Amino acid sequence: MATANLATHGATDHDHDHEHHDNFITKYIFSTDHKMIGKQFLVTGIFWALIGGFLSILFRLQLGFPDMDLTFLKPLLGGWIDDAGKLDPNFYLALVTMHGTIMVFFVLTAGLSGTFSNFLIPLQIGARDMASGFMNMLSYWFFFVSGVIMFISLFLENGPAGGGWVVYPPLSALEQAIPGSGMGMTLWLIAMTFFIASSLLGGINYITTVINLRTKGMSFSRLPLTIWAFFLTAVIGLLSFPVLFAAALLLVFDRSFGTSFYLSDIYISGEGALPNTGGSPVLYQHLFWFLGHPEVYIVLLPALGITSEVIATNSRKPIFGYKAMIISMLGITILSFVVWAHHMFVSGMNPFLGSIFMFLTLIIAIPSAVKVFNYLTTLWRGNLIFTPAMLFSIGLVSFFISGGLTGIFLGNSAIDIQLHDTYFVVAHFHLVMGSASFFGLMAGVYHWFPKMFGRMMDARLGYIHFWLTFVGVYLVFFPMHYIGIAGFPRRYYSWTNFEFSNMYTDLNMFVSAAAIITFAAQFIFLFNFFYSMYRGRKASLNPWRSTTLEWTTPLFPGHGNWPGEIPAVYRWPYDYSKPGAKEDFIMQTVPLSATPESNLPHEQELVKLEKEIIAEEEEVLVANESKES
């Protein structure tokens, strides 16, 4: 389905691409151009976001309206709706599992990192393409195969994987345990193997490109914060995904070959003891969360990077604390690897170990707070321009604060005993990780749509989309905190069976209604996205009056990005509203010697060096030319 969309949406830039003549297949399907691969990731990500969102609506119907007759869904869900019109409880488990897997990996990892790392890294650092276009193409197609396998698993007779997105053994390791641990689980593991391969291929490429292929003058201290974020995200992925692979490999052996890495002394209803002996289920949790926690930052950091860029551009101010932003991202990167056991406070782990992990977890609040502070101070007294991208970025900051605060509660091992695996956790991570990253993704799409498709998205529809989504997200997730504090566990099929949670029926109905409205609002975006691709207003070369390199390319950059030489870079990417400057932004490609009116004293020093270097280069050029002739 995704390819069918891809097949059409680059059609507009066809006649601008004179440089080389690709046929249909090499241009839109097996493309090695980073821009096309980025778009492929984006469209596939949107496809998966719709499926993942739709699954959540299905289980919200069950939670909010437990007495509802769901017979009208029978044409779609078939046997999963029983004769009384009720959702099958096993399928409910599969729904939450697939919703989590799809959203975390397919939408917010591949759809976010895959899209923007691919699209923006070469454009913003001044490179012709990724270090290896072929590996980049492989990365997309591994992701695509992974998606196909996961999609097929949705239609199995026993349903897709049902053990939660974390697939803890022994539940996920034994076919007898639940229907969702059968074939669905096998396909889940195969799909994830392809996904890991895809992420690693992508990540290796991103890191290599950022380190090796920057244009002249683009030192690390002149990189836009987006690139810093993508770079660090790729580093995190490179170090953590192999560990998930190791965890999954051992799980495959336990499931299919009868080993006992995670299994020991298990009795299943009516059967005698299983032969497995000596395994440790906590071992899986350690391995899984060693990926699982960094994964949170794999999802979040690109969104934070995009936000930095969008907020600085639309505040017409340099980003506040550029170095502090980089250092805090570095801090988050390092800390993300030493906090994984805060997901396991109640796993029976040594409580002393728990207090160490609690301490390390709470330290993450510092770099996070630095970032929030810098966003707010960048906004402070800026000449704010409320484009849809800007609104989504501010929305991200809001979710990052409100969701981050509850993280401080959950990070305390004592409070976590009460809150663990309740709706409080669901509310926390949907705000701080899910919604914040989703808003980063949206900000990125609205902001770079003109560069992707040469046209503008409709701003008015963007505003409607933003407000419905922003208010909707809070209406969905804020009430969940109360349900969670009351102690209601996540992943339960029904509320009505327990006295203490009976009183939350109305609140749940409210949450479900808000979720449906929020989901429906996404179709406004979908219409805007595809309509603007063909009929949107033609974009100008630099519609947001931004300073970074991607806006120096032609409206429809060919494969190679710049028709002539790659421009050199002479300054950092945040020269907005510089005192004395003619305009309120100076592109990175403008030499300091061209702007004597706005240079600071130390920059004036650099002008001399700049002139000498330019003179030397010209000498070399002249020498070369005389040799040739």
Cβ atoms 305, 229 nearer than 8 A: yes
Closer to another protein by Cβ: residue 213 or 533: 213
Provide the 10 A C-beta neighbour count for residue 99: 20
Instruction: Write each residue from 244 to 273 as x if it is in contact with another protein (CB under 8 A), else as -, in one continuous string.
Output: -xxx-xx--x---xxxxx--x---------
Closer to another protein by Cβ: residue 137 or 200: 200
Measured CA to CA in angstroms, residue 623 lies from 392, 565, 609 at distances of: 52, 19, 21
Rounded CA gap, 122 and 102, in Å?
Answer: 28
The tokens describing 151, both together, are: 């999609």
Rounded CA gap, 492 and 413, in Å?
Answer: 23
In angstroms, what is the minimal distance from the CB of 176 to another protein?
18
Cα torsion 400, 405, 408, 409 to 10°: value is -130
Q: Is 67 exposed, middle or buried (0-12, 13-18, 19+ CB in 10 A)?
A: exposed
In angstroms, what is the minimal distance from the CB of 280 to another protein?
6
Rounded CA gap, 534 and 524, in Å?
Answer: 16
- The one among 46, 108, 178, 243 contacting another protein by CB under 8 A: 243
**Is 283 an interacting residue with respect to another protein (CB under 8 A)?**
yes
Would you call 121 helix, strand, or coil by DSSP? helix
**Is 239 an interacting residue with respect to another protein (CB under 8 A)?**
yes
Per-residue b or e along 190-209, where b marks 16 or more CB atoms closer than 10 Å to that residue's CB: bbbbbbbbbbbbbbbbbbeb
**Is 109 an interacting residue with respect to another protein (CB under 8 A)?**
no
Q: Looking only at residues 457 through 496 of this chain, which bind another protein when binding is defined by CB under 8 A?
A: none
Closer to another protein by Cβ: residue 33 or 129: 129
Closer to another protein by Cβ: residue 289 or 438: 289
- The one among 74, 286, 316, 490 contacting another protein by CB under 8 A: 286
Rounded CA gap, 369 and 364, in Å?
Answer: 9
Q: On the CB side of 225, how many CA atoms lie within 13 Å of its CA?
A: 29
**Is 287 an interacting residue with respect to another protein (CB under 8 A)?**
yes
In angstroms, what is the minimal distance from the CB of 233 to another protein?
14
Q: Looking only at residues 551 through 610 of this chain, which bind another protein when binding is defined by CB under 8 A?
A: 606, 609
In angstroms, what is the minimal distance from the CB of 612 to another protein?
7
Closer to another protein by Cβ: residue 538 or 602: 602
In angstroms, what is the minimal distance from the CB of 174 to another protein?
15
In angstroms, what is the minimal distance from the CB of 260 to another protein?
6
Closer to another protein by Cβ: residue 212 or 383: 212
Which of 332, 484, 303, 320 is closest to 395 using CA atoms?
303
Closer to another protein by Cβ: residue 204 or 431: 204
The Cα angle at residue 571 between residues 567 and 573, in degrees rounded to 5: 90
Q: Looking only at residues 186 through 215 of this chain, which bind another protein when binding is defined by CB under 8 A?
A: 200, 203-205, 207-209, 211-214
- The one among 613, 614, 622, 623 contacting another protein by CB under 8 A: 613
Which window, 131-139, 399-407, 472-480, 485-493, contacts another protein (CB under 8 A)? 131-139
Binding-site size for another protein (CB under 8 A) equals 49
Phi, psi of 267 (to 5 degrees): -115, 130
**Is 612 an interacting residue with respect to another protein (CB under 8 A)?**
yes
SS3 of 447-463? HHHHHHHCECCCHHHHH
Rounded CA gap, 540 and 554, in Å?
Answer: 10
> What does the binding site for another protein look like in residue numbers (CB under 8 A)?
131-132, 135, 200, 203-205, 207-209, 211-214, 216-217, 219-221, 238-243, 245-247, 249-250, 253, 257-261, 264, 277-280, 283, 286-287, 290, 606, 609, 612-613
